Amino acid sequence: MKVFLALIFGVFSITGFSQNLEEVAGSDKGSIKTEDVSLYKTIHNKSVAAYIAENYRYPQEAFKEGVSGTIYAEFVVEKDGTVKEVVIEKGLCAACDKEAVRVIKTVRMNPIEFDGEAVRIRFKIPIRLMLQE
């Protein structure tokens, strides 16, 4: 049995969403910026999707139990490009969710700028785990 990891970037998720936390927090404007997470690269010049797919290790217990499906994760990219506040919005199993958090926390991005200024951005990303025979 082969393990296959795919990040879904279909119609419903290609736009994902990001949110400028500083503009929203304590602001009457409620300004939300929507960005395509696949447009951003890690410091290794890989897409976030490719980085996660290459570094996710399918948990042995999930493999044995045949667990597959989609994990929906949310995280914040800080002004310096580090990832913080990783939250699993919808998970599969404890081991799969823990591994998703681990690998997302290792993502390092180039600082994301709007109007020439580094900002904090919130992203959501689906991680699809599939077992193939």
Strands (E), 11-81: 69-77
pLDDT of residue 115: 87
Contact 101, 86 (CB under 8 A): yes
pLDDT of residue 38: 65
Task: Give the residue ranges of DSSP H helices in the chain.
Answer: 21-24, 48-55, 60-65, 94-105
Contact 124, 73 (CB under 8 A): yes
Contact 124, 38 (CB under 8 A): no
- The residues, any chain, with a CB within 8 Å of residue 122's CB and separated by 6 or more, are 17, 18, 19, 21, 74, 75, 76, 85
pLDDT of residue 45: 86
pLDDT of residue 26: 36
Question: Of 58, 114, 54, 52, whose CA–CA distance to 83 is shortest?
Answer: 52
Q: Average pLDDT for consecutive 10-residue bins of the chain (133 residues)?
A: 46 36 38 56 86 92 91 90 93 95 94 86 89 72
Contact 70, 9 (CB under 8 A): no
What is this structure's pTM? 0.74
